[in-house]
Chains A and B, each alone.
Chain A
């Protein structure tokens, strides 16, 4: 029988990683995500599954340990919060350039700079538009519950390995710190060396007589070859955009207005939908689960059916740009946000909706 537990989103990520059979976690503490490494250290998975948990000397060291682990075909991950993710971006670009699979967790806090430790979603651009240098994309999953914090570890690794690409779990301080019910996934065995050889023939596992030398690098000094690499990346990204879009709809069927929100904002917006419908306003919520690839087709489809869309984000207006691109002027799209770690309440959002669309 599955056991229901009560835990924080951060704790759920740690337990899910152990149960998934992850080989290594490398991190450096920062609020509001420190419970991820704290829980891993308390659980001591090196004594049970053999998973390595290591506090690196810095965020930069941690992401480069991930690069090393991923290059050898291992399931490795790291986590941080906004300022720490900024430090990791060089390594993230290298991982993308070397087509290495891994999971990176960002439990966002208010910025810019060191900012505050309160929840924010202001790293949307950083995550889905690049962040690091070069034409790369991160598969980006936005959990909106503690259950999804647990579930997206496995999903993140699966997608990362399917496409040989880093995957990001983009959460925030609310989802990281809140406790709610969670059913943890079952224990899976860690991959054996032979299993890795079979699944990831590109991995560097030591030269054996029967195989050629594998080289993992993002460096290619011949621009003609580097262009070919980029074309290969772009073809992969188009494939991901075709096949991996995920979203969820709440009360969209008869909606005249649509909220677009991800992560914790989507949770708060569910309440806004309840409040609006009590007042007779036909409001729906579309929640992108993958932020890249972005669910632009479904948003475009709704642009013929609704009178307006409000992108609700804990930032100054980032995802709203992707909503506007998808809608392409067919319907009015507005943004509502709070900044720097302040979280909106449901009635604030409802008031903003009424004002912006004169309902």
Chain B
């Protein structure tokens, strides 16, 4: 009974890490807004150091049915890793049985962990194919949502609407297409 109750309470602790300019923070923001639309408790904690385009950037996003305690974590259910320094930093911090999603474009080392589920989404290639490098983070988000349906797609679209300024709302169909493409191209490693 206790176990059942425990299982039905949803809580996801997520780190998204990569280069500044890859859309790491905005992807986290869209995920957080999507959680908000779904009636979840959410927190979004960025690394706000002297980051810039080309430097490293990461954001911790928590979605939960219960009030969230610490916005800072030691370990994560899900790690989305978009460059080598981030893999070096966060691979060991995925909970056993957790999920690691990466884009092969920025990763040259092998993933060593055997006790986690590892997925690859070639988002950089797909974005190039779509002739739209801005679709990159939404391709990743699509991949994530396929593996871990944290929020419903309709709420992601509502979240996009909330987090994008009105002048960018015309880009929502492109983002939706990228999310769906990402859902298709993610592969278990």
A residues whose Cβ falls under 8 Å from a Cβ of B: 4, 6, 31-32, 117-118, 173-174, 177-181, 264, 267-274, 343-348
Per-residue A-contact encoding for B155-189, CB less than 8 Å = 1, 0 else: 00000001000000000000000000000000000
- B74: contacting residue among A269, A273, A346, CB under 8 A: A346
- B42: contacting residue among A6, A32, A344, CB under 8 A: A6
- Distance, CA A222 to CA B68, complexed state (A): 55
Given A6-B33, A117-B48, A118-B49: A180 and B43 interface contact (C-beta under 8 Å)? yes
Query: Is the beta-carbon distance between A268 and B72 smaller than 8 angstroms?
Result: yes
* Extra contacts besides A31-B48, A346-B72 (9): CB < 8 Å: A6-B44, A117-B48, A117-B49, A178-B43, A181-B36, A264-B71, A267-B71, A268-B72, A273-B69
Contact partners of A273 in chain B: CB under 8 A: 69
Contact partners of A32 in chain B: CB under 8 A: 48
Which residue in chain A gives the minimum CB-CB distance to B29?
Answer: A179
- Distance, CA A4 to CA B50, complexed state (A): 31
Contact partners of B43 in chain A: CB under 8 A: 178-180
Contact partners of B70 in chain A: CB under 8 A: 267-272, 346
Q: Which residues of B from 53 to 95 have beta carbons under 8 Å from A?
A: 68-74
B38 touches A (CB below 8 Å): no
Provide a sorted-by-A list of 25 A–B residue pairs whose CB atoms are within 8 angstroms: A4-B36, A6-B32, A6-B42, A117-B49, A118-B49, A174-B72, A177-B46, A179-B42, A179-B43, A179-B45, A180-B41, A180-B42, A180-B43, A181-B41, A264-B72, A267-B70, A267-B72, A268-B69, A268-B72, A271-B69, A271-B70, A273-B69, A274-B69, A345-B74, A346-B73
Contact partners of B45 in chain A: CB under 8 A: 174, 177-179
Per-residue A-contact encoding for B21-34, CB less than 8 Å = 1, 0 else: 00000000100110
Contact partners of B50 in chain A: CB under 8 A: 117
Given A6-B36, A178-B71, A267-B71: A173 and B48 interface contact (C-beta under 8 Å)? yes
CB of B111 to closest CB in A, whole Å: 23
- Distance, CA A346 to CA B71, complexed state (A): 10
- Distance, CA A281 to CA B46, complexed state (A): 31
Which residue in chain B gives the minimum CB-CB distance to A173?
Answer: B48
Chain B residues bordering chain A, tally (CB within 8 A):
21
- Distance, CA A118 to CA B47, complexed state (A): 9
- Distance, CA A117 to CA B29, complexed state (A): 22
Which residue in chain B gives the minimum CB-CB distance to A268?
Answer: B70
- Distance, CA A173 to CA B44, complexed state (A): 13
- Distance, CA A164 to CA B165, complexed state (A): 41
Query: Is the beta-carbon distance between A178 and B44 smaller than 8 angstroms?
Result: yes
User: Top 5 nearest A-B pairs by Cβ distance?
Assistant: A270-B69, A271-B70, A179-B44, A345-B74, A271-B69
Contact partners of A173 in chain B: CB under 8 A: 48
CB of B16 to closest CB in A, whole Å: 14
- Distance, CA A343 to CA B32, complexed state (A): 22
- Distance, CA A178 to CA B29, complexed state (A): 11
Contact partners of A264 in chain B: CB under 8 A: 71-72
- Distance, CA A19 to CA B98, complexed state (A): 43
- Distance, CA A273 to CA B48, complexed state (A): 27
CB of A159 to closest CB in B, whole Å: 26
Contact partners of A178 in chain B: CB under 8 A: 43-46, 71
Residue from the set B29, B41, B72 with the largest chain A CB neighbour count within 10 Å? B72
Which residue in chain A gives the minimum CB-CB distance to B33?
Answer: A6
Contact partners of A348 in chain B: CB under 8 A: 74
Contact partners of A272 in chain B: CB under 8 A: 70
Query: Is the beta-carbon distance between A347 and B48 smaller than 8 angstroms?
Result: no
Contact partners of A174 in chain B: CB under 8 A: 45, 71-72
- Distance, CA A343 to CA B72, complexed state (A): 8
CB of A7 to closest CB in B, whole Å: 10
Per-residue A-contact encoding for B94-110, CB less than 8 Å = 1, 0 else: 00000000000000000
Contact partners of A31 in chain B: CB under 8 A: 48
CB of B39 to closest CB in A, whole Å: 9
Contact partners of A177 in chain B: CB under 8 A: 45-46, 48
- Distance, CA A180 to CA B44, complexed state (A): 6
Contact partners of A118 in chain B: CB under 8 A: 49
Contact partners of B162 in chain A: CB under 8 A: 6
- Distance, CA A359 to CA B133, complexed state (A): 53
Query: Is the beta-carbon distance between B73 and A180 smaller than 8 angstroms?
Result: no
- Distance, CA A272 to CA B70, complexed state (A): 9
- Distance, CA A344 to CA B45, complexed state (A): 14
